[in-house]
Structure 1
Amino acid sequence: MLEIRDLHVDYGGVQALRGLGLTVCEGETVALLGNNGAGKTTTLSAVSGLVKPAAGRIVHEGEDITKTAPPKIVARGVVHVPEGRRIFSTLTVHENLLIGGYLVRDGAELTRRVDEVYELLPRLAERRTQQGGTLSGGEQQMLAMGRALVARPRLLMLDEPSMGLAPLMVAAVMEVIKDINLSGTAVLLVEQNAKAALKIAHRAYVIENGESVLEGTATELSADSRVAEAYLGGAA
């Protein structure tokens, strides 16, 4: 579904990605692990067209999208939920979801998609008339994911969805991501909570200084002493 080949991204002469390569297959959840500044967010931004690589290729379903504009990437079914949720705080939950379907021209179809999100995330249905800014952090994250789902993504990219959330809400958000994947949507997940990410991922990559230094199944990386020491509190 997605293949990144020898990707290089520079910010003002500083190399953020140095020959990164990774793949996401149909129906997979793939986690990107690494410390702050490793290049995880840059990877998602490059795929979604928000930053332009200096070299390398991004291939989606057999087509090179390296230089494709962000709206066209969304139209292909690649949807990015950025770090920090970035919902519209003064709009209601329902209005936020409608914005997720800005490419949908059929009003009845848009209504069906929003109703599907409410079915998956009943907490949003209960709060549909509330302003987004009045929701809890976990509810705002669910709203950000729900808004993305209205676009019917084939690949959903999530950047730090558990950031700032209480442990119980982290578990709830991860369960939603698992359900999204089980419904047939591939997921590329950037997450500093490696333990939570590896519980729901099929495979994972560890990124350091803009390069992939480890990759494998979630089970393999959970048992790897290097991953345990750096990201799992020292216990494989």
Structure 2
Amino acid sequence: MKTTALELTDLDVRYGGVQALRGLSLTVAEGEIVALLGNNGAGKTTTLSTVSGLVRPAGGTVRHEGQDITRSSPPSIVERGLIHVPEGRRIFSTLTVHENLLMGGYPVRDQATLRRRLDRAYELLPRLAERRAQQGGTLSGGEQQMLAIGRALVAGPRLLMLDEPSMGLAPLLVTAVMDVIRDINAEGTSVLLVEQNAKAALKIAHRGYVIENGECTLDGSAAELSADSRVVEAYLGGV
């Protein structure tokens, strides 16, 4: 039986008078890719922000590998290997590709480990190796997304959380990004993937959850969700 990498139980999150999450519960098993599907404003980004410690829940618990991290600080959560790639990439536009990757390694104290992770990021994302001396802000949208993922890899994720990695990308680049996520997962990293492109997400995910108005309304294997008429109608274009 697989170990549980992440367990969210009965999470309630409020922004002032607005309740963003309502008793939300989900799990990510070790080695899984789990997709979070839902419309804008459903609570997907809030879910990732709560796991990262950027948002404090009004109720419920967040557990990583069995340990309660609900009230842990964001830096301590990063040090545990929960790495969040936020929506919009948020690279350092005036730093070079290599300097951006080094920023991902700020928690890494052992230089040999840092060098090994940098080498692996360049190996997995060869376009970054070609652009290593180029300023991040001059990269294409797809290259910037790869850079954001590469920076996360240098941090050494045990669980990688990605928020809309395909947003704004052409179809070929969406496929390339999803292939990279699948490769990262194949090396043992668990993935929690928030993605508007449900078709692309379900192609690489093992399981998924549908979130509506801050609640999980549907869950199942990727195959089950892909065949569910409600998912097809709402998120797969009715085809």
| 1:181 and 2:185 correspond | yes
Aligned residues: 235
Residue by residue, what CA displacement relative to the aligned partner does 1:82-122 show, whole Å, maximum 9, x if unpaired? 00000000000000000100011222321121011001110
Cα root mean square deviation, aligned: 0.5
**Residue 212 (structure 1) aligns with:** 216
Alignment of 1:62-211 (within 5 A): 62-211=66-215
Q: Secondary structure at the match of 1:22?
A: strand
Unaligned runs of 5+ in 2: none
Unaligned runs of 5+ in 1: none
Residue by residue, what CA displacement relative to the aligned partner does 1:200-230 show, whole Å, maximum 9, x if unpaired? 0000000000000000000000000000000
Distance in 2 separating the partners of 1:180 and 1:106: 22
The TM-score with structure 2 as length reference comes to 0.98
Distance in 2 separating the partners of 1:178 and 1:62: 25
Residue by residue, what CA displacement relative to the aligned partner does 1:123-151 show, whole Å, maximum 9, x if unpaired? 10000000000111011000000000001
Distance in 1 separating the partners of 2:209 and 2:120: 32
Distance in 1 separating the partners of 2:237 and 2:77: 37
| 1:23 and 2:32 correspond | no
Instruction: After superposing the two structures, state which structure 1 stretch, 143-152 or 106-115, moved more.
Output: 106-115
**Residue 44 (structure 1) aligns with:** 48
1:79 positional shift: 0.3
Runs of 4+ with deviation above 2 angstroms? 106-109
The TM-score with structure 1 as length reference comes to 0.99
1:196 positional shift: 0.2
Give the residue type in structure 1 aligned to 2:162: L
